[in-house]
Structure 1
Amino acid sequence: MSNHKPKKVFMEGAIPPGFIGESIAKHSSKKNIGAHSIFLGQVRNDVIDGKSVTAINYSAYEEMANEKFHEIREAAFEKYPLNCMHIYHSLGTVSSGEICLFVFTSSKHRKDAIAACEYLVERIKAEAPVWGKEVFEDESHSWKENN
């Protein structure tokens, strides 16, 4: 494996659109980048058993999760010719419609950036020790007061 430094993955609450925009803008001056691929995971306003989901509360074993995210990143760098890669995942409460996962890959060519982004998202969903508990419309008020 390469020797990339482990990166901070978790952000408290939703990932702000401005943060996403700034992340993209920071790459405009980097050399050898001809393509970016971005995945944005959003909390769905699902209806489960007749109740609307108003938020998801994300939790993780952070140390273990950070190690797993680093392992996944390193595998992607080995598999694809990437110039840059960023992964951010929410912890805590994220309301419906807000962003909870941001994966951003950059490479010389689009196919590599797209394939790497998809690879990362699939591995994160399958392997990262991050859990989400739905907060329903009828319990969201009392849940927020108790937490």
Structure 2
Amino acid sequence: MEKERKPKNIFVQGAITPEKIAQSIANHSTKTDIGGHSIFLGQVRADEKPEGKVVAIDYSAYEEMALEKAFEIREAIFAKYPLTCMHIYHSLGEVKVGELCLFVFTSSKHRNAAMDACDKLVERIKAELPVWGKEILDSDGHVWKVNV
């Protein structure tokens, strides 16, 4: 009997810490059917805008809708790729330049499935998840981030 999957809370308040990433990796050492992992880390850049330089991004989301969409994306990726597990963590609130705002981690028996799934997962998250980033500028202004 297949275990029913339920929506998981993917949101983290503030930056995603290196300790969280290290712990997530360490938690997989007992899963001996995994042969490869693929990890994507999204980091806030100090982009130069006409209005000023980005110093942080303030992320917000329509959380209930975002969690449902993340679940839908996860299920589609699980259906397409032979994965052992998949994790998504996305920041809410302020994340400073140089800090991490997105952590995607896929695992499978073979590396190609993990890498391909991770890439597709990130693309879908960026395109479909109702999460918005307000780029905070050094000029005391802000602009809304456009995902590319």
Counterparts of 2:24 and 2:108, CA distance in 1: 15
What count of residue pairs does the alignment treat as equivalent? 139
1:8 maps to 9
2:130 maps to 129
- The TM-score, its normalising length taken from structure 2, stands at 0.91
The C-alpha deviation readout for 1:8-37, integer Å capped at 9, x for no partner, is 100000000110000001001112100000
Contact 2:81/2:113, CA 8 A, preserved across alignment: yes
Query: Quick check: 49-58 or 21-30, which moved more?
Result: 49-58
Q: CA RMSD in A?
A: 1.2
The C-alpha deviation readout for 1:29-74, integer Å capped at 9, x for no partner, is 1121000000000000111016110000000000000000000000
1:45 aligns with 2:46: yes
Kindly report structure 1 stretches of 4+ aligned residues shifted beyond 2 Å: none
Counterparts of 1:37 and 1:83, CA distance in 2: 12
- The TM-score, its normalising length taken from structure 1, stands at 0.92
CA deviation after TM superposition for structure 1 residue 76, in Å? 0.5
Structure 2 regions of 5+ residues with no counterpart?
A: 142-148
Q: Which has the higher helix share?
A: 1
Structure 1 regions of 5+ residues with no counterpart?
A: 141-147
Q: Secondary structure at the match of 2:117?
A: helix
Q: Map of 1:1-147 to 2, 5 A cutoff?
A: 3-49=4-50, 51-139=52-140
The C-alpha deviation readout for 1:103-126, integer Å capped at 9, x for no partner, is 000000000000000010000011
Identity, in percent, stands at 65
